[in-house]
Amino acid sequence: MNSNLLVSVEQEVNNVSPQRPHVVILGAGASRATCPDGDKNGRKLPLMCDLVDVVGLRQLLEKWGIDPDQNFEEIFSDLYEKNELNKIGAVQAAVEHYFDQLELPDGPTIYDHLVLSLRNRDLIATFNWDPLLLHAYSRNAKSGLSLPRWCFLHGNIRVGHCECETDGISGLAHNPCPRCGRLYKTVPLLYPIKKKDYACDPYIAEEWQVLRWELKGAFMITIFGYSAPRTDQEAIVAMQEAWGGKGQRFMEQLAFITTQSDDEVRENWDAFIHTHHYEVHNDFYDSWIAKHPRRTREAYLNQYVYAKFIADNPIPRDLGFRELWDWYDKFKGPEEHAPTALGGAI
């Protein structure tokens, strides 16, 4: 075989192209996959279908005469439409107390591997309220790698926002703003109602603006554990408008990490998918991110545009943090000398 058609792991690591963003969108299924046996203390990561029992709302709902076997989205939407403010407050307090207690296990998890495997031109946009992604960012800051940016589309239990008009930056709640010194104010959580207003809060509106902008320039979207529920139709429309017509995206790729079938994915996301330019995995470690960490665009170009044979460079899953950071160390030099201008057709 012609050696010019082969791309080794070393060649992939050393060839850093000007990068359009890889946008990763997380739903509750991503946090469940990150902690399949529960968080550090055994607390289960809830999905909307089992949130009532996981958080401990069943007895409260039964006392109110509400069927606790409904999906949480339906329960909360009904309370909201009836303007049941006292009940809404009680539900929110229970939910926020539960999520505030969640912690990542001590060893590296999927979220740790995820944040280490994207670059600072990339974006992780999450619908999740839990603090696990922030925990992963915090403990991998010592790696010396540039990490992807974040945005929290429905708020987050641990995120704070500086209310100073000249700052407009966010960080860990109750920490001081590095510009003005004021403590970050906790951002609101956006709860599941049938018609959401993404412009109602300045922080939420800004996060959505970031996502829209990045989707317009993205070469790849990975949707991980997000099933596009009915109560998120405004979100789907907003993302579709930013992504544009699927006929305009004839080279870009969509990847889904999900327990849904191929048919279900196609039905839910048809407006985004150009012909065969998508793939479905039920395991994060089968994804482009896990097989080609920090080089998803380069690997995709080599395989599908330049028609070359590429070697996988999978994340080692059995390493502790120090050994894991040492494994990623080989990416630093090439990235420090990489061109910064965006370019390329995808």
220 and 265 share one domain? yes
Give the domain CATH number at 286: 3.40.50
SS (H, E, C) the chain: CCHHHEECHHHHHHCCCCCCCEEEEECHHHHHHHCCCCCCCCCCCCCCCCHHHHHCCHHHHHHCCCCCCCCHHHHHHHHHHCCCHHHHHHHHHHHHHHHHCCCCCCCCCHHHHHHHCCCCCCEEEECCCCCHHHHHHHHHHHHCCCCCEEEEECECCCEEECCCCCCCCEEECCCECCCCCCECEECCCCCCCCCCCCCCCHHHHHHHHHHHHHHHHCCEEEEECCCCCHHHHHHHHHHHHHHCCHHHCCCCEEEEECCCCHHHHHHHHHHHCCCCCEEEECCHHHCHHHHCCCCHHHHHHHHHHCCCEECCCCCCCCCCHHHHHHHHHHHHHHHHCCCCCCCCCC
301 and 260 share one domain? yes
Determine the pLDDT at residue 167.
53
216 and 258 share one domain? yes
235 and 310 share one domain? yes
**Parallel, antiparallel, or unpaired for β 149-152 and 123-126?**
parallel
- For the record, the structure tokens of 5 come out as 């058609």
344 inside domain: no
203 and 96 share one domain? no
Determine the pLDDT at residue 192.
83
Determine the pLDDT at residue 168.
62
Alpha carbon of residue 181 to chain centroid? 29
**Parallel, antiparallel, or unpaired for β 170-172 and 159-161?**
antiparallel
256 and 112 share one domain? yes
Q: Considering just the CA atoms, what is the radius of gyration of the chain in Å?
A: 21
Determine the pLDDT at residue 165.
55
Averages of pLDDT over runs of 10 residues in the chain (346 residues) are: 80 88 96 97 95 96 96 92 95 96 97 97 96 96 95 91 67 76 81 78 88 91 86 80 74 88 87 81 97 95 90 96 98 86 48
Residues 80, 83, 84, 88: what is their CA dihedral angle, to the nearest 10 degrees? 40
The structural domain count of the chain equals 3
Domain carrying residue 64: 51-100
Dist CA 249 CA 331 (whole Å): 29
39: left (phi over 0), alpha (psi -120 to 50) or beta: beta
132 and 184 share one domain? no
343 inside domain: no
- For the record, the structure tokens of 328 come out as 């990623």
237 and 288 share one domain? yes
29 and 55 share one domain? no
